[in-house]
Amino acid sequence: MGWSEAWRLLVRPRVGDLLVNTTKLVAGGMVASAVLGTAAAWLVERTDLPLRRVWHVLLAAPLAVPAFVVSYGWVSLTSAVEGYRGALLIVVLAYYPLVYLPVGATLRGLDPALEESARSLGFGPWRTFARVVLPQLRPAILGGSLLVGLHLLAEFGALQMLRFPTFTTAIYDQYRSSFNGPAANMLAGVLVVYCGVLVVTELALRGRQRYARLGSGVSRAAVPARLGWFTVPALAGLGAVVALALGVPFASIIRWLVAGASTAFPVGELATATGSAAGLGLAGALATVALAAPVAWLAVRHPGRVATLLERSTYTANALPGIVVALALVTLSLRVLPAAYQTTTLLIIAYAIMFLPRAMVAARAAIAQAPPVLDDVALALGNSPMRAWRRVTLPLIAPGIGAGAILVFLAVVTELTATLLLAPTGTQTLATEFWSKTNDIDYGAAAPYAALMVVLSTPATVLLTRSVRRGP
Amino acid sequence: MTALTVSQVTKRFGTTAALAGVDLHVADGGVTAVLGPSGCGKTTLLRLVAGFGDPDAGTIELGGKQVFGPGHSVPAQRRRVGYVPQEGALFPHLDVAGNIGFGLPRAERRDGRRAAELLDLVGLNADLAHRFPHQLSGGQQQRVALARALAPQPSLVLLDEPFSSLDAGLRLSTAAAVVEALRANGTTALLVTHDQNEALSLADQVAVMADGRIAQVGPPRDVYSVPGDPVVAAFVGAAVFVPAVVTGLTASCDLGTLPVAAGAAEGEARVLVRPEQIRLLGPADGAGDGAGNGSNGVLVGVVTEIRYFGHDATVQLRLAHSGLTVTARVPGDQLPSPGARVRLAVTGPVNAYAASG
């Protein structure tokens, strides 16, 4: 493909439409998630709202419901959610916890002495929030919003169901309808640039300031703000968020389960799909952790330019939508090793690339829990380096590495885009079966798959909320 | 017999010399403190003795056996040296008994008697055996770390700033308990610290380190009262240096004519006066001794600043005749008021050092 051909594919009205749609959705989704997530986090962490622990769980819970399941829950009830507004509503309901969790963790770790100092310098509560608390929350809000933005750029299932075309859905259609590799690849190129712009913008906005607590000592718990008459509207607002994000999809799944059960309940097919999803999940988790652990070890124990570069490069996958990774692997395998095309191995490689950042974060945190001084002590007590590793390091890092593996496992189980593109013909997973049933508007048949994915995702979400609770 | 002999050990990190030829002998039994400001190389020395790294040159002997020499280095796990790092570094996945038993053979680890013995030795209740490290206070963690290091009966225990992370009250009691346990066990210990009070009060022998070298080794009293050079003098305690001229066994200076220790070089010098050597004799009465030039044996100073510590206080004085500022340490109940004119005297011999140094 020549430059002129590339240019022709790039500059056409279709790309302009997609750019507008994608930008509208990403901008709207990021801002709405930031506002909703921050407000919810403040209410739960810093006020005398009743039943705050319960609200915390309910507000984090939407993470356990894949966005395309939320979308299914809504779209199977009413077609009114098709289009921009519906898409915005649904992606915000699915992704606001990505802001809520880090902001909540930051608020919990924030030293109340900062706010007290501001108050003693004559600031009122609102000015204190705006001038002292908000700047402290900035990295968490920006980081969370960036994640929302990247998820929205990568989102395929939910938006396809809502008939709201973005780059990702267009790439998929282009690829599927015509197997038009060059056209799909050009769109994917634009999408990658878009992701890069988002990441760089976030880095630039975050700046180089440090927001650490200075000085030693343990910070006290903050005195919760009194809501007073505002309690009722606050409860109503949070209740509405939970009802829309959790209630509607769950009610819808149950309704279709009941309706579907009256016809047939394909236990065999369900078991097969669960089995192949679990098999892929296991293989993906093992491969990803096997790649992540040595890099994390290098980055924590032997920090240097090479180690840092290696570590950073794994995170770039965070900004790569699944569709781009899948398309790249399709192109690469067809060019270099046609035998690898549509094999399980290639699919596992795609999972490993996509979910490496999750495993890295977990492995890094785990290895940081085992400081080298413990090795020194074990050596001084007469253990050989191998024995010291087995008796001290391994027991200390195993739980964290395992948690990382579980996170990857569950991400694979609910992965749709790359699986659709790369899975060997005939391989059916929970996500792909759910997808084909929904595409046939057979909502009843899709419901058991949706329910299984939610059930499988719940433990991962609990793990995720825990690790975020402990703070960075 | 010597428990530890370090000879001419050097170690560089990149372009900085952490150790520039260290010699140190530690006799069997007793506690030796390596005292120095941060960055003087004392922790590096400790880690080389433990075997966590190799010197660039020099030799290290433990109990008469060479563990490091040209072309040979015994790995850390075969040196039988106990190690107590900063903040204890207990294994977080093991309880107290598991931590203490870590260095013991499996059979001894199982029966738990040794752990109970060691808990008793470091003055902790046996009930703590099944607590986890995060359930212990900082002082308790530090004592468990010592018990863990003592369990395999090492010939030498190394302690790396073991009390610096504890707050003031806990620091004293923990340090006392740790040293008592070491002495009761008859273990030789090498303690690295930057805290003068800790070194002087806990150790039998103090080695002062500066710039990668041992500047002076001796009993705490000698290091404090007869420091080998002005740097050591200033590091181990508060010091006032006064220009003087040495003649034989006396030095004459703004504080009068003072006896000096034998061996001081004749001529221009500066003498070290510790604040507790300067005594206040009471208010100076009026104009009669206005000059207060010391010729009649009476020194007069004006109080410029007082720092009160309860048990005692330091008083800064400007000498009336020369303008020299000196600091005196006085009992807390005998304080002059700021601005008062007081008579003062210097007791005991002083140390003289070459003027240029």
* Dist CA B27 CA B48 (whole Å): 18
B64, pLDDT greater than 80: yes
Residue B50: its chain A contacts at CB < 8 A? 376, 380
Structure-block tokens of residue B29: 């039994």
CA distance A379 to chain B (A): 5
Where do we find the tokens 């919760």?
A224
Q: Which residues is B260 bridged to in the sheet?
A: B350
A vs B, Cβ pairs < 8 A, gives: 62
Q: Give pLDDT, residue A221.
A: 64
CB of A201 within 8 Å of a chain B CB? The answer is: no
Q: Give pLDDT, residue A285.
A: 93
Task: Report which of B252, B245, B349, B246 is spatially closest to residue B297, judged by C-alpha positions.
Answer: B252
* Dist CA B37 CA B35 (whole Å): 7
Residue A374: its chain B contacts at CB < 8 A? 89, 91
* Dist CA A372 CA A114 (whole Å): 34
Q: Give pLDDT, residue A470.
A: 43
Confidence of residue B38 (pLDDT cuts 50, 70, 90): confident
* Dist CA A408 CA A351 (whole Å): 8
The residue-averaged pLDDT of B88-103 equals 90
One-letter identity of residue B296: N
Q: Give pLDDT, residue B292.
A: 44
Nearest to A376 among B83, B92, B93 (CB): B83
Nearest to B91 among A380, A382, A392 (CB): A392
Cβ burial of B2 (10 Å; 0-12, 13-18, 19+) is middle
Q: Give pLDDT, residue A180.
A: 62
Helix (H) / strand (E) containing B299: strand B299-308
Cβ burial of A136 (10 Å; 0-12, 13-18, 19+) is middle
The residue-averaged pLDDT of B86-95 equals 87
Q: Kindly determine whether residue A376 and residue B50, on different chains, have CB atoms separated by under 8 Å.
A: yes
B32, pLDDT greater than 90: yes
Q: Give pLDDT, residue B168.
A: 82
CB of A392 within 8 Å of a chain B CB? The answer is: yes
Residue B76: its chain A contacts at CB < 8 A? 376, 379-380
Greatest extent of chain A over all pairs of C-alpha atoms, in Å: 72
User: Residue-wise pLDDT tens for chain A (472 aa)?
Assistant: 567 777 776 667 778 888 899 999 999 999 999 999 999 999 998 888 898 888 998 998 888 889 999 999 999 888 888 889 999 999 999 999 999 988 988 888 777 777 777 777 778 777 888 888 888 888 889 888 988 998 999 899 899 999 899 988 888 888 887 666 777 888 888 888 888 888 788 777 766 554 544 444 445 566 777 778 888 999 999 999 999 999 999 999 998 888 776 556 778 888 888 888 999 999 999 999 999 888 888 888 887 788 777 777 777 777 788 888 888 888 888 888 888 888 899 999 999 999 988 888 888 888 887 888 899 999 999 999 999 999 999 998 888 888 888 888 888 988 998 998 888 888 889 999 999 988 888 888 888 899 988 888 888 777 766 654 443 3
Q: Give pLDDT, residue B297.
A: 61
A371: helix, strand or coil: coil
Best to test chain B binding among A216, A218, A379, A383 (most B CBs inside 10 Å) = A379
B294, pLDDT greater than 50: no
- Rounded-to-10 torsion of CA A113, A119, A125, A126: -100
Q: What is the 3-state secondary structure (H, E, C) of B141-210?
A: HHHHHHHHHHCCCCCEEEEECCCCCCCHHHHHHHHHHHHHHHHHHCCEEEEEECCHHHHHHHCCEEEEEE
Q: Kindly determine whether residue A379 and residue B92, on different chains, have CB atoms separated by under 8 Å.
A: no
One-letter identity of residue B75: P
CB of A423 within 8 Å of a chain B CB? The answer is: no
CB of B101 within 8 Å of a chain A CB? The answer is: no
The residue-averaged pLDDT of B88-117 equals 88
CB of B163 within 8 Å of a chain A CB? The answer is: no
Confidence of residue B157 (pLDDT cuts 50, 70, 90): very high
Instruction: Tell me the C-alpha to C-alpha distance, in Å, between residue A268 and each of A271, A273, A309, A360, A447.
Output: 5, 9, 47, 36, 15
Q: Which residues is B213 bridged to in the sheet?
A: B210
B291, pLDDT greater than 60: no
CB-CB neighbours of A208 under 10 Å: 5
Nearest to B152 among A376, A381, A385 (CB): A381
Q: Give pLDDT, residue A217.
A: 43
The residue-averaged pLDDT of B324-338 equals 88
Instruction: Tell me the C-alpha to C-alpha distance, in Å, between residue A465 and each of A68, A70, A356, A469.
Output: 21, 20, 19, 6
For chain A, how many residues are written? 472
CB of B21 within 8 Å of a chain A CB? The answer is: no
Nearest to B83 among A377, A388, A396 (CB): A377
Q: Kindly determine whether residue B149 and residue A395, on different chains, have CB atoms separated by under 8 Å.
A: no
Q: Give pLDDT, residue B295.
A: 44
CB-CB neighbours of B301 under 10 Å: 28
B288, pLDDT greater than 50: no
Per-residue pLDDT reduced to its tens digit, B214-259? 999 999 999 998 898 888 998 998 888 999 999 888 888 888 888 9
CA distance B65 to chain A (A): 17
The residue-averaged pLDDT of B43-59 equals 92
Q: Which residues is A67 bridged to in the sheet?
A: none
CB of A368 within 8 Å of a chain B CB? The answer is: no
